[in-house]
Structure 1
Amino acid sequence: MLLKMNRQILAVATLLLFSSTQLACAQDPKVFVIKTNEVKAKVSPSMWGLFFEDINLGADGGLYAELVLNRSFELDLPMMGWKEQKDEAAAGHYLMLNRGTTNQANRRYISLTSTKGRYGLSNVGFRGMGIKKGMQYNFSLLARQPKGGSASLVIEMIGEKGAVIGSGSIKPEGEEWKKYKLSFTAAATVEKARLDVLLKDAGTLDLDMISLFPQDTWKNRENGLRSDMVKLLADMNPGFLRFPGGCIVEGRTLDERFQWKKTIGPIENRQMLINRWNTEFKHRPTPDYFQSFGLGFYEYFQLCEDIGAAPLPILNAGMACQFNTAEVVPLELLGPYIQDALDLIEFANGPANSEWGKKRAEMGHPEPFNMTMIGIGNENWGVQYLERLALFTKAIKEKYPEIRIVNSSGTDPVGERFDLLDKHLRSAKADIIDEHYYQNPKWFLENAARYDNYDRKGPKIFAGEYAAQSVKTASPENKNNWLCAMAEAAFMTGLERNADVVEMASYAPLFAHAEGWQWTPDLIWVDNLRSYGTANYHVQKLFSTNRGTDVVPVLAGDKAVSGQQELYASATIDRETNELILKVVNSSPKKQHGTFELEGLSKINGKGTLTVLSSDDLDLVNSFERPDAIAPVISQVAIRNKTIDLPMNPYSVNVMRVRL
C-alpha cells in the first residue's frame, strides 16, 4: 500500500510540473472557440489503427485459438509441452522420429507403443488449457497404423482435479498418414485443463499435428482465432492493422527472421520458428515460446478484412535486430528479400491466375485483399538501412507505383539515429515515416504539439508504436494506469489536430497473457478464459470510434488548445453523420468548466452526447477482477445558443458528439 501511495504522489507531482501556476484558478470557466466552417485537414480513414506483434503470447497461446502447445513436436526440445501419461497398471514407450530434409517444415512425429493398458501422452497447453462448460471442442490429428495393427485412441480432457470433462475415441486405419477428427462438449469450466491422448490397449500408432480448438473461434473458422480477443479489436473500428511486428520481423539472426512465404498454405507445411522474445528478457524467460504460424499472412489479411482494417504488412529489410546480432545481408544478395516484397503484393492483390494470387485463391480467397501499403524494416537505423531501403523502394515503385511504402525512423523520436533517418527520408520524398515513442507520461503531455510545425508538404507520419511508460521503458514494473492513458489521450489530440501530417497511429504492444508476458504495458490483457481492455484501450477506442472526417480548429485566443490550463483539445466534423466531435483532456487535479462557442453555424440548440473516462486515482488500473474500474460513462449535455458548457472532471478524457 505504501508503494502505491508513493507512486500516486509521484504521478501527481509529475503533472503539477506543467502548470502549477494555473491551479489557483483551475475551477474558473474557460472560453474556447470552435471554428466549425474552417476545415484545417482531412482525417485519414486509417487514422486510428492496431499494431500486432507476437509478443506476450500474442499469437500462439493468445489470439490463435489452438490449445495444444508444440502440436507437431517441432520445438527445440521435441517433448516440450508433453509428458508420458498412463494408467496405474499400464506400460509402454514412445519414440521421437525425425524425417530430416524429406519434410523440412514438419520434421518430427511420434510413435506410441502400449504393451499393456492405456498408455500415451498429455499436453499442458499454453499455461494450461482454458475450457468452458457447454462449449464444443474440436480435436484432430494426423495418424497412421503399422501394417496389421488395430490400435485405437481415447482422447480425454482432464480438469484440474483429475476429472474427465470431455472425451472421445478414434481408430486410425491404414499405413498412410490421414487426418482424423472428433468433437466433444465440455462438462465443466476449467482454467487449466490438460489433454490426454492415449492408446486404449496394446498396439502402436504414429501421430503428428495433434490439435484442439474451441468451436467458438471468430466466425467459427477451423484453425481460427479466439473470438473474445478479436471482438475487442473489432469494437475499436480500427482503420488499419500493422502486422506481424515488430521485432519478430527482424529476428535475432537473419535465419530467424519472419518469412511470410513459410506462413501460408496447409498448416502442417508451415515451418515452426523460435520466437525472438523466447530469451530476450532475463526477468521473463519463456523457453516454450515459438511461432507455429497457424496464424500466418493469409490469416492476417483475413482478419483485416473481417474487422474492416486496411492491411499494413511489414517485411524484413535484409537486417536482423540491431540490438541482437545486427546481421545484414550483403547488398548484392538482397534480391530474394526484395522479391519477397514483390511477391507479397501479388499474393495480396494479384489476379487469381497469377503465381501468388493463385496461392491466395487456393486458400479460399480468390478476390484480392486490396493492400495499399507495405512497410520495409522495423526500427532499423543507420546507413545500412538506408542503402537497403533504397533498393527495395526502387523495385517496388517500378512495378507497383501505387503501393505506398512505410519507412523506419529508428527506435526513438529524437537523437542521432532519428535525425539521420528523418533528414534522408524527407530529402528522398518518402511516402510515410514510422515514428515510435515509448516515453514517460510527462513526455506525452509536453509533446502534444510535436507536429504543429512539421512540414505540411513532407512525408506523412505514422505514429506506429507508442505507449506511456509508468516507470521506465521496458521495465517489468510498468502499469496500464490512468496517468499513462490520460497522457496518451492528450498526445492523441495533437495527432488528430495535425491529421494533414499524421496519417496513422497505433498503440503497442496489443496483447499480453497474464502468465506469459515479456513486456509491459499492453493494450489488452488475457488469461486462458478471460480478456479485458485497459484504460489505454478505452482511450484508443474513444478516439477510433469518434474519428470524424474533417479537422476544425479549437482555439484559446488564437492558439490551439495544447496544455493551457492543463487542457488539451481537438475537434472534427463527421460529414457522414453531420456531427461535431469534440475531444478535451483535463489533466489537472481539479474540475474545470469549458465554454465552447461554435462559430460558423446559424443556429444550434439541443443536447449532445458526452462520453467520459476519468479517475481521481492516477495509479488505478483495470484488472480481471475489476475490468471496468476505468470505463466510459455516457451522459447528455445541453447546447444553447451555439455554446457547449462542458464540465470536466479532474484527470478526465471527454468526448462530445453534437448533431449540427
Structure 2
Amino acid sequence: MKLHRTLLTALAFTAGMALHAQSAHNMVVQTNKVGAEIQPTMYGLFFEDINYGADGGLYAELIKNRSFEFPQNFMGWATFGNVKLMNDGPFERNPHYVRLGNPGHGHKHTGIENEGFFGIGVKEGAEYRFSVWARGENQKIRVELIDNDTMGENQAFVSKEMDINSKEWKQYEVVLKSPVTDPKAHLRIFLTSKGTLDLEHVSLFPVDTWKGRKNGLRKDLAQALYDTKPGVFRFPGGCIVEGTDLETRYDWKKTVGPVENRPLNENRWHYTFPYRFFPDYFQTYGMGFFEFFELSEDMGAEPLPVLSCGLSCQFQNDSEDAHVKVCDLGSYIQDALDLIEFANGDVNTKWGKLRADMGHPASFNLKFIGIGNEQWGPEYPEHLKPFVEAIRKAYPDIKIVGSSGPNSEGDQFEYLWPEMKKLKVDLVDEHFYRPESWFLAEGNRYDNYDRKGPKVFAGEYACHGKGKKWNHFNAALLEAAFMTGLERNADVVHMATYAPLFAHVEGWQWRPDMIWFDNLNSVRTCSYYVQQLYGHNKGTNVLPLTMDKRAVSGQEGQDGLFASAVWDKDTKEYIVKVANTSDRVQPLSLTFAGLKKNDKLTEGKCITLQSADLDKDNTLENPNAIVPKETAVSIDGNVLNVEVAPKTFVLYKFTKTSNK
C-alpha cells in the first residue's frame, strides 16, 4: 500500500513537471540581430515646481518670503515691536525691506520671526548659513533658531549676535550650528541696539548642499535625482511655463543674475485646486535657469528647457485676448534665441557673458529646446511655426520639441501629430496620466508609429490607480510593463520622463509623485525604482525579443507578460526586462539565440522589484519597504529556465565572454 502511494505520488509529480514544462512561456532573444540604437536621453527626469518642488523643496532656502515681496508682504512672518515695511530697497525688482526701530521702552522688543515652509527643518550637529542684506550704523541684531513648540525654559536653541555698521546696503553672514534636530523650528531676529536698522533678503541655507555649492540645492533630493542616472532633464514645467495668464508665465530671463534681484512670480499651483489650496506658494526664482543647467551638467543629463509659445493655459483661458497674437510674438521668439545664446554662446556675447559672470564660462552644450507645453487647436501650430523658422535659421543644430497636446489620444492628438510633421519638429511631447487599464492595453503603442516622422518624447506619464490616485506598487509595476514598449521601440521613442517629480508631504497638490519629502527626510517610491532600474540598465541597442513570434506586450494569450531585451556594447551585457502583471506564477524559458560557438553567458544577475501588498509603497517612516533586490542566477548554455512570481518586475543580466 505504501509503495502504491509512493508510485502515485511520483507519477503525479512527473505529470505535474510535464504540465509545467508544457506551459512554460518560450521567449527568444535574437542576439545576432542588434537593432536600433537606444538614445542616451532615453530615460530621464521632468521637473515642475508643483507640490513645493522648488521653493520649500529642491531649492534649499529655508526662509519663506525672504524679500517681503509676497502680495501680502508679511506672509510667513510675524512682526513685533517697531517694524515698518519700506519699498525703496537696493534691488530694483525686489524693492521691499523692513525697518526695525526702537520699540519705545527698555523692556520691549523689536524683531521679526519666520515660519519657513511648514516649519524650518534643522538637524543636530548641522550648520546653517544665515545671510541678510542690511543697512545701519553701529547696530546689532540677535539671530536665533527657536523651538516653536517648546515647553522648556528657553525657546532659542542656538543664537548669535551680528554687528551691522554700514551707511550703505551690505550683505552679512553668520553660521549657526544646531544642537538639536527639529523639523518645525522658526527663525527669529531681535534688534538688540537702540537705533534703526534696515533688513532685506533674509536667508537661511544648510551649509551642506549638493556639490557643496553655497546656498544651493537640498542634498538628499538632488542625490536622489542623480541616482536615477538620467539622460535628459526637462525643466521648468509643465503648466507653469504657460502660466494662468501671460503675466504669470515662467520667464527665464527673470531667473538669472543675482538672486537678490530675481523677482517674485505667482505659482499657478497654489490656486489651481481649491481643495488643495496653498496661498503662500510662490516662485522666488532662486532656482532659475542657470541652476537648472548646472544641475543637468552635474547629473550628466542633456538639458531640455521648455519656453512659452505665447499661449497662456488654455484650460483656464477661453478668450483670444489671453494669448499673444502671432504677429506680436517677436519678443517671445527672441527669448528663445537668447536662451540658446545664454546656454551655448561665447563669453563675448551678451547672454554668454552673463553665464560666465555667474560662474560658468564654458558652454552648457544645449542641444534641445521645447516650445509650448500642452497647447492644442490650430492656435498652437500657428504660434509654433515662427519659432521653428527662427531657431532653424539661427541655430540649425538645435533640436526642437513640439507637443501633441494634453491627451494621449483623441481629436486634438490626432490633429496635432500631422501638424508637428508639417513643421518638421524633431520630437513630439506626449503626455498620459492614465488608469491601469490604459497601461495594460498600451504595451504595443509605438509598434506601428511612423519611423520617418518626428521622434517621440513621452514627456509626462504616470499610472493613476482607479480609486487609488496615490503611489502604490501596482501602479509602478504597470509603468514598468509599459516601458518595455518604449524600449522595444527605441528607434522612434527617444525620451521618456515620469511626472511629477517631487511632493512635500504637507504641501502636495497632485499625486502620485516620484519622490516625497518632509523638512528633513525623503523617500523614493516604487515608481522611482522602476525609473532607476531602466536608467541604469538601458543598454545601447535594442534586441528582438519574441514569444510565439510576437512582441511580448501583454497581448491576448500572453498571460499578462511584458518584456524587452537590450545589448550593452560597452559592458558586453545582455539585459532582459520582464513584467508579470498577472496574479499567478509564470514559468519562463528564455533562449538567447544567435550566439557564436565560442560565446558564453556568465555573471548572471537577477534584479527583482515586487510586493505582496499591491497597494503598498515606501514611506518616510519605512523608506525601504519595497526596493530592488539582486541575486545571482545561472544559465544552462544559452537557455534560462525560471519562474516569474506574480505581480513582479524582474531584470536578467548576463555578460558575454568569448573563448578564442
Structure-2-length-normalised TM-score = 0.93
Residue 305 of structure 1: aligned partner: 297
Residue 342 of structure 1: aligned partner: 337
Opposite residue 83 of structure 2, the aligned amino acid is Y
C-alpha distance in 1 between matches for 2:470 and 2:383: 37
- Cα 1:381–1:610 shift into 2, 3 Å: same
Q: Is it true that 1:617 corresponds to 2:608 in the alignment?
A: no
The alpha carbon displacement at 1:429 in A equals 2.6
Q: Is it true that 1:225 corresponds to 2:217 in the alignment?
A: yes
**Which secondary structure state, in structure 2, belongs to the residue aligned with residue 639 of structure 1?**
coil
Opposite residue 73 of structure 1, the aligned amino acid is F
C-alpha distance in 1 between matches for 2:192 and 2:650: 62
Q: Is it true that 1:462 corresponds to 2:457 in the alignment?
A: yes
**Which secondary structure state, in structure 2, belongs to the residue aligned with residue 353 of structure 1?**
coil
Q: Is it true that 1:96 corresponds to 2:91 in the alignment?
A: no
Opposite residue 397 of structure 2, the aligned amino acid is E
Contact kept, 8 Å, 2:83 with 2:110, in 1: the verdict is no
Please give the residue correspondences for 1:190-589 in structure 2 after superposition, counting only pairs within 5 Å. 190-326=182-318, 327-471=322-466, 478-563=469-554, 564-589=558-583
Contact kept, 8 Å, 2:606 with 2:653, in 1: the verdict is yes
Counterpart pick for 1:81 among 76, 82, 92: 76
Counterpart pick for 1:595 among 576, 589, 612: 589
The alpha carbon displacement at 1:557 in A equals 1.7
Q: Is it true that 1:105 corresponds to 2:93 in the alignment?
A: yes
- Cα 1:629–1:391 shift into 2, 3 Å: same
The sequence identity of aligned pairs, in percent, is: 48
Opposite residue 298 of structure 1, the aligned amino acid is F
Opposite residue 95 of structure 1, the aligned amino acid is K
C-alpha distance in 2 between matches for 1:26 and 1:179: 75
For structure 1, the residue ranges without an aligned partner over 5 or more in a row are 1-23, 86-91
The alpha carbon displacement at 1:186 in A equals 0.4
**Which secondary structure state, in structure 2, belongs to the residue aligned with residue 209 of structure 1?**
strand
1:156-177, CA deviations, whole angstroms, 9 ceiling, x for partnerless residues?
0012443322221111112210
Residue 655 of structure 1: aligned partner: 651
**Which secondary structure state, in structure 2, belongs to the residue aligned with residue 222 of structure 1?**
coil
Look at both structures and tell me which one has the larger radius of gyration over its CA atoms. 2
Contact kept, 8 Å, 1:68 with 1:124, in 2: the verdict is yes
CA RMSD of aligned residues (A): 1.5
C-alpha distance in 1 between matches for 2:197 and 2:274: 40
Contact kept, 8 Å, 1:317 with 1:377, in 2: the verdict is yes
C-alpha distance in 2 between matches for 1:57 and 1:497: 35
The alpha carbon displacement at 1:103 in A equals 5.0
The alpha carbon displacement at 1:530 in A equals 0.3
Contact kept, 8 Å, 1:155 with 1:197, in 2: the verdict is yes
Contact kept, 8 Å, 1:26 with 1:591, in 2: the verdict is no
Residue 627 of structure 1: aligned partner: 623
Opposite residue 292 of structure 2, the aligned amino acid is Y
- Cα 1:333–1:605 shift into 2, 3 Å: closer
User: What is the aligned length?
Assistant: 623
Return structure 1 stretches of 4+ with deviation > 6 angstroms. 24-27
The alpha carbon displacement at 1:604 in A equals 2.2
158-167 vs 492-501, which moves further: 158-167
Contact kept, 8 Å, 1:440 with 1:469, in 2: the verdict is yes
Q: Is it true that 1:637 corresponds to 2:633 in the alignment?
A: yes
Contact kept, 8 Å, 1:606 with 1:640, in 2: the verdict is no
1:506-531, CA deviations, whole angstroms, 9 ceiling, x for partnerless residues?
00000000001100000000000000
C-alpha distance in 1 between matches for 2:440 and 2:70: 44
639-648 vs 338-347, which moves further: 639-648
Counterpart pick for 2:134 among 129, 132, 143: 143
C-alpha distance in 1 between matches for 2:34 and 2:386: 39
Contact kept, 8 Å, 2:561 with 2:578, in 1: the verdict is yes
C-alpha distance in 1 between matches for 2:582 and 2:358: 54
Opposite residue 588 of structure 2, the aligned amino acid is G
Counterpart pick for 1:72 among 39, 51, 67: 67
1:346-372, CA deviations, whole angstroms, 9 ceiling, x for partnerless residues?
000011111110000000000000000
C-alpha distance in 1 between matches for 2:181 and 2:643: 45
Opposite residue 493 of structure 2, the aligned amino acid is V
Residue 14 of structure 2: aligned partner: none
1:14-68, CA deviations, whole angstroms, 9 ceiling, x for partnerless residues?
xxxxxxxxxx989932111100111221100010000000000000000000000
Residue 15 of structure 2: aligned partner: none
The alpha carbon displacement at 1:328 in A equals 1.0
**Which secondary structure state, in structure 1, belongs to the residue aligned with residue 229 of structure 2?**
coil
Opposite residue 618 of structure 1, the aligned amino acid is L
Opposite residue 651 of structure 1, the aligned amino acid is K
C-alpha distance in 1 between matches for 2:98 and 2:23: 74
Contact kept, 8 Å, 1:223 with 1:294, in 2: the verdict is no
C-alpha distance in 2 between matches for 1:653 and 1:328: 45
Residue 152 of structure 1: aligned partner: 140
Contact kept, 8 Å, 2:206 with 2:215, in 1: the verdict is no
C-alpha distance in 2 between matches for 1:493 and 1:186: 48
Structure-1-length-normalised TM-score = 0.93
Opposite residue 497 of structure 1, the aligned amino acid is R
